[in-house]
Chain A
Amino acid sequence: MALGPTSSAIHITGTGPHYAIKTPQNVTVHPVALFTILDHYLRRTDQQDRVIGTLLGRRTEHEIEIRSAFAVLHSETDEQVAVDTEYHRTMYELHHKVNPKEVIVGWYSTGSNLNTYSALIQNFYSLETAPHPAVHITLNTGIVEGEEAGVKAYISSPVGVVPKAENCVFVPVSVELRFHDAERSGLDLLAGTSTSTTATSPQPVPDLEVLETAIQNVTSMLDRVLAYVQSVLRGETKGDPAIGRYLMDTLGASAGVGEEIGGFNGSLQDTLMVSYLANLVRSQAEVSARLALTTAT
């Protein structure tokens, strides 16, 4: 699942004894972090070209998982760049209290240009995350014409004979969007909302409506598969044996019709029973609440 335009960068990772601290090979981002960055960008002041903030998440041996983010104050002028480190500290402590498992893994900025100031800020965050490398995420919001919205991740390495804070190479790292099942239904909800004309959607959505959408989705996929199979049968396209086998495995899964009839009837009765029980409990509760309101008089 790629985020944004494809890059031609090759991701090389050294594996040798002298790589004591493993450089991350993969960065995954949760939707919450991305949406927080977008919100921060939306609330920037007129003077700010870009906004920056801290990324929080977890670190495994080869992977960095960015789970949330918060905004940090900073100012950039032609002569200097300043990051409000005290603010950054306070916010981190506040987040840490709620979610102790999340640590600082790096920083984000909007827009996709990397400059000297980026190197300086990167240097600051590297000190925060030491001994692990800091990740830098650039999120292009896509509002500048000609640039595509997308997310890129970098780690830095020092450059030059004498390493200086303002000099570094940003090495691209592959970045992916990652979410859990619970988050995905929220994402579906938002994706549905964003395509509606008013950019709003009423809540709650009835379960059956969600089911209907899912079934329609499956139906359209089956149609696509059917169209493909028929065109192969007609000889218009060359069949791909891998796809054929895959389809066979998937569609052949619902074999053994005979034994399913009993199972179906059984679980139908169970479901009806549960439904009856639920209604019974509800009416009992209602009656009980009303009985409490009656008096002997």
Chain B
Amino acid sequence: MAAALAASLPAPSAAPAAPQPKYEAIPASMAKVIDIEAEIPLTTIQLDGMVVTKIIKHAREAPSSTAHGLLLGLDLDGTLEVSNSFPLPYHTHDDDEKSVKAIARHQASMLRSLKEVQADDSVVGFYQATTLGAFFSQSLVDTLAIHQEKLRHGGVVIVHDLSQTARGNASFRAYRLTAAFMDAYKKSNFNTARDHVLTRSHDSLINHRLTFSSILEELPLKIRTNPLLSSFLGTLTKAIPSTMPDATPLEAYETAVSPSYAALDLGTAGVTRNLEQIVEAVDAYRTEEGNVSYLIRQIARERAKADNYIAKRKEENQARIAQGLAPLPEEDVSRLFKIPAEPNRLESLLLLGQIDAYAKSLGDTSSTSLAKMYAAKASAGI
């Protein structure tokens, strides 16, 4: 997906062409909020009602739990207004050259088509469906990093949690990459080496103080319904007198949208699934840690060999100097011993983030269900 996005996104729009003389001057009242150079930083994201339903629909119907699509909209005075979205086709083989091109084509022609019906056609980010709050993944980070370069304001991701929505609380969150992570990502150096003799790398997890919680920063998100939608929803939810001829009591009414009680469900079916997810994520993390520590041992072994060699050479040289002979040259050890590169820690960092997210959603569920249980206990009169 990442590559496809890169292929089709417009080149970094440095600045829309300077206002032509035929345009009216920007009125003084708006002068402060219009920024051509994207200098006003984003403070909030505003999600349109239609986008909310579109994302929920796509997330529910997508064959895998990782439905994703693009967000379209505009920013004004620090508020990014997301006014439309469209889903991207689902492909099993992301790296397949053909499917990458297909997605790019799809996107370009969708944008063109939307423009024709006066819809917003500037990409501002993408959305991603997730279950149980764990959305950290390599592809998400990659896509965000690509957007960072290509989009005005660097792009955002809106994460929609399917499992929470099923519990009656539609949840949307907006994130973007932190500057520290972006810096580390650009140098693509996710090891913990600070600076040692052989590989001098300064940029690392430590220098940027990166943990899983500092990869993404959350932006406040608001849901907005436009006046037309508000009034229509008002009509839908308005209580109209029951049409049944013998309806009693007299105040009986019906609405097109009946109230929902999914939040009151006492069932704990989700908890088992959540626990399984945690165990899986922990297993994956263990495997990754195993790989990392294997590499570290390898590095240590090679380095010990190199150090030994140097020490021996020095000793020999000292002996030779004592005997009045010319010292042997101290050769470049890095040519003699191949010291492997420091292992990449990004993967394990992301896995830790996933574990944390699963555990967080588990904690949230259990705290709510505690409240529900006491409520049920009180009402059952135990």
Chain A residues within 8 Å of B, Cβ to Cβ:
1-4, 6, 30-32, 34-36, 38-45, 67-68, 71-73, 87, 90-91, 94, 97-99, 141-143, 148-150, 177, 180-191, 193-195, 199-205, 207-208, 210-211, 213-215, 217-218, 224, 228, 231, 237-238, 240, 243, 254, 257, 260-261, 264, 267-268, 270-272, 274-275, 277-279, 281-282, 285-286, 288-290, 292-293, 295, 297
Contact = CB atoms under 8 A, between A and B. Distances in A.
A286 B307 CA distance: 35
Contacts of B249: 224, 228, 231, 237, 243
B80 interface: no
B88 A35 contact: no
B227 A202 contact: no
A277 B232 CA distance: 46
Contact of B87 (A98, A150, A204, A279): A98
Contact of A193 (B223, B250, B261, B348): B223
A153 to B, nearest CB: 14
Contact of A292 (B84, B117, B282, B348): B348
A260 B271 contact: no
Contacts of A1: 254-258
B118 interface: yes
A177 B165 CA distance: 20
Q: Which of B117, B118, B164, B348 has the most CB of A within 10 A?
A: B117
A237 B248 contact: yes
Which are the 9 A-B pairs with shortest beta-carbon distances? A278-B363, A194-B230, A289-B211, A281-B359, A275-B366, A278-B362, A71-B117, A203-B221, A35-B50
B116 A73 contact: yes
Interface of B: 46-50, 52-54, 56-61, 83-84, 86-90, 106, 109-110, 113, 116-119, 162, 164-173, 192, 194, 205-206, 209-213, 220-237, 240, 243, 246, 248-251, 254-264, 268, 271, 275, 278, 282, 345, 348-349, 352-353, 355-356, 358-360, 362-373, 375, 377, 379-382
B225 A199 contact: yes
Contacts of A213: 263
A232 to B, nearest CB: 9
Given A177-B236, A183-B60, 14 more contacts: A2-B256, A35-B54, A45-B118, A71-B119, A177-B256, A184-B257, A187-B53, A187-B257, A190-B52, A201-B223, A203-B171, A207-B164, A207-B364, A277-B362
A267 B235 CA distance: 42
Contact of B366 (A205, A243, A274, A288): A274
A285 B213 CA distance: 11
B256 A190 contact: no
Contacts of A282: 356, 359-360, 363
Nearest to A35: B50
25 contacts: A2-B256, A30-B57, A94-B109, A97-B106, A177-B236, A186-B165, A189-B52, A190-B225, A199-B225, A203-B221, A211-B368, A214-B261, A217-B261, A231-B249, A254-B379, A254-B380, A271-B268, A275-B362, A279-B359, A288-B352, A289-B211, A289-B213, A292-B345, A292-B349, A293-B210
Contact of B229 (A190, A215, A217, A268): A190
Nearest to A238: B248
Contact of A32 (B54, B251, B348, B362): B54
Given A187-B257, A289-B352, A210 B366 contact: no
A40 B50 CA distance: 11
Contact of B169 (A199, A207, A270, A297): A207
Nearest to B265: A214
Contacts of A97: 89, 106
Contacts of B106: 94, 97
Contacts of B169: 185, 204-205, 207, 210
Nearest to A297: B194
A285 B370 contact: no
A295 B206 contact: yes
Nearest to B107: A94
Contacts of B165: 182, 185-186
A82 to B, nearest CB: 14
B259 A217 contact: yes
Contacts of B355: 281, 285
A138 to B, nearest CB: 14
A180 B166 CA distance: 10
A254 B375 CA distance: 13
A98 B375 CA distance: 44
A188 B260 contact: yes
A238 to B, nearest CB: 8
Contacts of A207: 164, 167, 169, 263, 364-365, 367-368
A31 B362 CA distance: 31
A137 to B, nearest CB: 14
Contacts of A142: 231-232, 235
Contacts of B229: 35, 38-39, 190, 194
Contacts of B380: 254, 257, 260
A295 B192 contact: yes
B362 A203 contact: no
Given A182-B162, A211-B371, A286 B356 contact: yes
A35 B261 CA distance: 24
Nearest to B53: A32
Contact of B113 (A40, A87, A279): A87
Contacts of B58: 98
Contacts of A187: 53, 257
A156 B379 CA distance: 54
Nearest to B279: A281
The interface centre, meaning the residue of A43, A207, A268 with most chain B CB atoms within 10 A of its CB, is A207
B241 to A, nearest CB: 11
A165 to B, nearest CB: 25
A293 B209 contact: yes
